[in-house]
Each structure stands twice: as C-alpha cells, then as structure tokens.
Structure 1
C-alpha cells in the first residue's frame, strides 16, 4: 500500500527528529567509520522482503546497521578533503524539492523550477562579484550542475563546438584537438578529455611555478604555439582558483591574455575557493575573470552551506553550450520552447532530467543572507590561520606556503612512509580525519577547515592529537 499523507506526516516527523538528534549528537561518533570492507553488506539481508515493512524497522536498522558504517562529514573534527556543508536550510530545501517531485527538464515541465534557478544563479553571481556577462538576462547565464566534473565536461563540449564550428557534434572528432591543464588541475579535466574523444594524450600539461604551483603562462603560450604548428587545434585551457591539492591559484589574467591571443576557450575551475569571493576582501581571486573567461564553475556544496549536489556553472555566451548539447525530439516540443522566450536547462547539461536543486540554494541564500555567508567563510579562514600558526611554531613540522583559504598543508619532518603510517593512526583513532596529497613528490598532510560546528577548541584538540601521535612515535 502507498504511504498515506497521514502516515507520511507521522514518519516524516520521526525522520526530521532523527536528523536533528544525529546532528546534535554527532560528536559522539568517531569521525571515520570503523568497519571492515564488506561488513555493512554482511549485516543486511541477502534478499528483498516479500512484504512491506513498517518504517520504524527501517529507522531501527539505520541506527543499528547503517550508522556504524557512516563517515561523518558534518563532524566538527572532519578536516579531510574539502568541506561538504549540509545545513538545516539546505536540507529542508532539498526535502521540499523531493516533496514536489518536479522533473524540470524544460521550462514547460515546471516553469518555477527554471525561473527560480535563473534567479538564484544571478543572485550568487552578484554575491561573488562576478561580471554582468554571466547573468541570465544577457547572452550568457548560469546553470546548476551536479558537480564541477560535469561543469568541466560541459565546458569542453561547448569549447569543441565553438572551435570546430559545430562539426564535432555532427561528424565526430576528425582532427587533433587539445586541452591544457597543469599537474595541479583536477583529474576531471583529463576525464573530460577521455569522454569527449579528445583523448588523454591530448590533455597537455603546462608547467607550474615551483614555489606557488600556479600555471606558467609563458609555458602555456609555448605549448599552444608548438601544438598549432604541429597541426593540432587548441580547444580549451583550464585555470584553477584553489587547486584540490594545495589551493594554488593560477594567474587568470595572464593566462587569459594568452588564450585571447590564440582564440582558445578559458574555463575557470573554482570548485572549492570560488565561493570565498562572497567576502569583498577576497574578490582579488577573480582578477581577469571579467576580461577573459568563457566559463566559470564553483561549488556551493563544498564551502557555501548547501548540501551535495550543487555546482553552479556560468558562461559568457550560451550559444556554443546550447549548440553542443541541444537535441529536440518530438516528445519535448511545446509552444514555450518553440517561442524561444524561455530557457530549457536540458540544453545546458549532459542528462535530460533535472532535479529542483535551486530550492536548496534559495533556502541557504535567504536564511543566511550575504552577511551570514561571509561570516562562515571568514570563520573557516581564521581557524585555519590559527592551525597554521601552531604548525609554524613547532620545528618538528614543515608548513607549505603560500597558504590560502581554509586549508593548511603541512608535514612532519619524516619520511613519506612514516607520515602515511601516522595519518592512518590518527584517522583510525576516530578523534579526527585528515587526508593527504603530494607536493613536489613528498607526502603532505591536508587540514581543511569548514564544518559549521568546528570551533577554535576543535582545532586546538586536533593539533594536540597530532603532536601527541608524533611524540609517541619518537625520533628516528
């Protein structure tokens, strides 16, 4: 039997209470799940039930069988990877989206789904100080994607459409096209090269400045010239504002001058750090965006209090994007689409179907306002600065510089093997969770601050746990 509205009301309240209790008591859990591979599956029935079960049983199994295998990304001692904020307003906005059950593939299938999205992406562009060309009431505009990886793929497709004059979409790839990244660029760009048929070998790696790990514009220019002379067609350059490894910042303006001279699409991946520009004092990170950038992506689902998935991609000209992705079968034809007066976001993404993601971002922007968003970003930066000061004051450690935003990269003055063993001991303890990277080939620990519940005391406690583990290991 279908769940009735009254049953939904009863169990829905229980679910909201469960979530509230979980979030209120999250510090009672070890940060990283302490289970062995296959343990969760072994504790679940091998076959589905023949008859429906009461929802209470599902909630009981959630506590007993599922929760032990959850790594708690909202824990105040979660310092791994990057933040994945999930806040009350965003969760409720997502619940409303699920309750409405909208499939917003075209404007006609739910006008509010499309038009609210145009509003919130314009709001966000304004909050970040992005150029007017990214607004949806001009030739460009913004769209909510599921991830920065999808945004990168869409940008590559749009760039291919533009540089080929549309022939790639119709005839396939018959020439050698190239895209340009650095060793610090997210792997999503190489994946985009593979998916689009450009090929991993044609994803060209530009040198970085050894001190800042930022792209070298002179080497980019040399590669573009050499590849063009060899018969290749450069399609896209990806500059990163806040790399995944160390939050290095590529010089967008200098890269943009090179791209403009060679008529190459410039995409900016600002997945983690782009939202920091909500603070006026941090808008320097977008120097050159207004003058040179064709597409720009950032993730509210990382550091801007919006639960996954929610990436915003903006383009200065939507025509290549729509040209690359628009296919109109008969079953989607309708008067609004035929009029040309509406946006059909199915033409701005890979899948046809669309969730009503704008609701959760709208809820966040309205609940926090600009000042609340800025306070959250500034808090993370301040807490990370405090941790960096502790590292810098201890001669047993090295601090990676330059340092940006809410990430601190550091390492004990040990061998890589010892550092990896230390990392596993710390993570196994359940007291905190860190991740690692390699900088100049050496293992480096990453301490990323961004949880809504992390305080200065949590940072101090994490440092105490790290230094205690180092002291226990002893010198060698």
Structure 2
C-alpha cells in the first residue's frame, strides 16, 4: 500500500467510523447471536490474493459490527464507561502511522518527552500532590491499564519491603498486601504474578453504610500479620470501587501506612477523572500519603483504551525494582542520567506512543470541555437516581457521588435478576449487576459522550414497565 493508496483507503475508513458513530443509537446495544456465529461466517483461511479495503469494510459492516457489544452506544450503561472520541482516534491513527517504539528516550526522544509533559498536564488538571510531578523525585507514566499499574506498584513495594533482596532471592511469601473486600480483582492477580499467591492478599472489611474500607480493621489485620512474623508490604486503597464507587478514607489509611512504613497505592481507575472538577476533589483528600496513584483516562476522560495514568512519589524505587539493562540497550543518553527511560517503569520492554491520543484529547476539549463532560455524567446519574428515589418499588443500594447508580427492586434477588435480563433483552439499553450487602443489585453507569437525558429516561421507562410486568405475575 503506497501513500496514495493509503490516502484513499484512509478516507474510506474514517468515513466508515463516522457513519458507525452516527448510527449507533439505531443499533441494538448487544448482539443477540449465539457464541461462534462470527467464527462460522468467516472463511477457513486468508485469501490467496490481496483484497481491496472496500471488501474488508463491507465484511466489517455485514459480519463484525452486528456481533459487537457497542460500548459507545448512548444506551450502554454497563460496567464503567470505556470512552473514546474523535480526537483520541485521530491521535491513535497518528501513533500507528509513526510506528514509534518508545522503550528508551534514545529510541524516540519526542515519544518520551511528550509523555512526561502529558503526565504533568494531567497531574495539574487533577490537582495531584506536588510530589508526583516530573521535576521532583516522582513522576508519571502511561500504563496499559490500572491492572498493570497495581502490578508495578506491588513490585516496587516488595522492593522497598525487602531492601531489594527480592530481585536476587525471589519473593518471600511472607509478604502481605491489603485491600478492602471491594478492591479490584487485579490486586489479587498482581499478588499472584508477584509470587505472593492469592492468600498473600488480606481482604479488609468495609463499613456497611459507606462500603469503604474500615481503617480500624486494616490496622488490626496489619498487627495480626506482624505478630505472626509476616511482612506488610502494600495497601491498595480505592477511590471509586467497582461495585459501588465507594471512596476509601485515605487520610486514615495513609496515616496507618506511614506509621508502619507500608507502600500505599491508590487505585482511582474510574473515579480519578472526577478530580478534573474542583467540586469533586474531596474524593482525593489524603492523597498526599500515597506512594503511587493511578486513574484511567480510557474510562471517563474521552481517551480510547488503553491508557492508564500512573504516578509514583519516588521514581527511583520503581526503576530500581524493574530495571534490567542488557548490553544492546546501552546508550549515551541513558548513561548520562539526564533522561527518563520508561521501559524501566513497566513490565514490558516495548512501548507504544500513547501520549499522542492524550495530547489530541487535552488540546481539543481543553480543561473546561473535560469538566463539562464529567459534570454531565454526574448530572445524568443524579437524574436517574432521583427517578429511583421517587418510586417506592425501588431503592438505592449505595451512594452515587459520581456517574454510577446502584439500585434494585424491593424484591427477591431472582426478581431483580429477571428485571435485568428482560431490560437488557430489549436491545435498547445494557446494564450490569453486582452484589451489595450480599443482595443482587443493578448498576447503571453513565459515561458515553452520546448519552443524553432522553437515553437515561428511556432506561428508567423500560425498568418501570418491566417492573410492572414482573409484579403482576
């Protein structure tokens, strides 16, 4: 494909994406086809001779798109949002076209330096503690996801707790990690990968009213482990838990970590974006105690997956934990100590130019545009919660400080599960569920930039009508 062929094909692909976005509201949110439908429709092997892009786009229309779950659909209210936007897609396109490998500053200086500046821009946008800026001992880096951020934070914590011995001797399984019972599953996965095993994670009970970690319970778990000869290495606190968006009390948790010398990692994967709005920064009180922090612009900040923003207060500890320097990577810039090499801040060696899509997004929307997007999601969630509160058949299951609403019918779990299945079966909306206090609970998460009041109201109308049918039987 020469440049002119690429130009023609590129126009066609951009047109296809624009048409897809403009017709999203007319499509069912989730495919109704059974497993294996797409696989059965595809040829057994690749074509012998090449095919034009028009043929590929025709099959994209006919075979692939109808069998997607449409995460950008205005009626998609499941999980947490996984936003993308025009500027983000364009930034990714440029990144793919450049084909940069950014493992070292020397392998593409602009890739590293733009990322450093974008992380400082984000730190300023969220008003993060000064210690996370690149002109201090700390700094930020883009990981693929919050799961990877938790893993590298765990490795850095083990490096600190063992005085670096884990690099030579392996991980002593006496080290322990702590998180609330609502902490993300990636915390256990990180402990497994790091060699602690699943039993290396202590699940700390939450306050029934707030669903947030109880500091007294954390302190008791740490004391019990220390008495048993085990070594507390890391506490993972959450701003915006996956089930209910509960906010763990960072000031109290941070003071405990400081007292015992334990690494504090703060996972704000979804709710961190809320801090672009000054009135929502209460959720980050106590962040000055954190050794590391992350949030996902690819969830609620209009940046396509994958893009996790991860900061550390002392980059030296992270680099010492992860660096391996083979001869073929040695270069004068690295040896000078004057540059950052982000390959030492992550598990893989290679790095994509993810900072470009952040640059495009931040410049296109600006601070006020991003704040407007977040505030709109919060307002739509509050609108929906108001509907729930006004109907005596329903109840709110948790607070809704951001853009997630947890609710249920005042009925048995089986009835709520059937309610969810029937509403999702309409193809107009898609919700997911969790359990709060052991009870089946529906979740409605607002986040798509295409979602408007009409879509939230439609979801509520469907829920009410379906509840009417269920209650009548």
**Which TM-score band applies after superposition, normalised by the shorter structure?**
over 0.9
For residues 354 and 243 of structure 1, the distance between their equivalents in structure 2, rounded to whole angstroms, comes to 29
CA distance in 2, matches of 1:217, 1:474: 42
**Aligned equivalent of 1:360:** 357
Is 1:137 the counterpart of 2:135 in the alignment? yes
Q: Does 1:183 align with 2:184?
A: no
Higher mean alpha-carbon deviation, 398-407 vs 94-103, is at 398-407
Choose which of 435, 449, 453 in structure 2 pairs with 1:452: 449
1:13-28 alignment runs, 5 A limit: 13-28=11-26
From 301, 306, 309, give the equivalent of 2:298: 301
Note the C-alpha offset of 1:474: 2.5
CA contact (8 A) 1:175 1:233 kept: no
Q: Secondary structure at the match of 1:314?
A: strand
Question: Residue in 1 aligned with 2:341?
Answer: 344
Question: What CA deviation, in whole Å up to 9, does each residue of 1:64-107 have, x standing for no partner?
Answer: 01011111111111111111111000010000000000010000
Cα shift at 1:475: 4.1
> Any idea what the Cα deviations from partners look like across 1:284-309, whole Å, max 9, x if unmatched?
1111111x110000000000010100
* Whole-Å separation in 1 of the counterparts to 2:248 and 2:59: 47
Q: Partner of 1:94 in structure 2?
A: 92
- For 1:103-133, what per-residue CA distance to the aligned partner results, in whole angstroms no more than 9, with x for missing partners? 1000000000000000000000000010111
Rounded Cα–Cα distance in structure 1 between residues aligned with 2:388 and 2:48: 57
Taking the aligned partners of 2:344 and 2:209, their CA distance within structure 1 comes to 41
Q: Is the partner of 1:244 in helix, strand or coil?
A: coil
Deviations 1:420-457 (A, max 9, x none): 12211211210100000000111000000111011111
Larger deviation, residues 388-397 vs 420-429: 420-429
Question: More deviation in 169-178 or 11-20?
Answer: 169-178
Instruction: Work out whether 1:56 is the aligned partner of 2:15.
Output: no
Counterpart check, 1:325 vs 2:322: yes
Query: What are the within-5 Å matches in structure 2 for residues 17-416 of structure 1?
Result: 17-290=15-288, 292-416=289-413
For the residues of structure 2 that align with 1:327 and 1:427, how far apart are their CA atoms?
49
Please give the secondary structure, in 2, of the residue aligned with 1:443: strand
Q: 1:186 to 1:271 in 2, by over 3 A?
A: same
SS of 2:106's equivalent in the other structure is: helix
Shift of residue 138, structure 1, vs aligned partner? 1.2
- The residue number in structure 1 matching 2:468 is 471
Contact 1:228 1:234 in 2 (8 A): yes
Moved over 4 A (4+): none
With the length of structure 1 as denominator, give the TM-score of the two structures. Answer: 0.98
In the alignment of these two chains, the number of paired residues is: 473
Q: How far apart are 1:175 and its partner, in Å?
A: 4.8
CA contact (8 A) 1:215 1:250 kept: yes
Distance in 2 of aligned mates of 1:314 and 1:369? 22
Structure 2 unpaired stretches of 5+? none
TM-score under structure 2 normalisation? Answer: 0.99
Q: Which runs of 5+ in 1 are unaligned?
A: none
Q: Summarize deviations over 1:299-320 as a string: whole Å, max 9, x none.
A: 0000001010000000000111
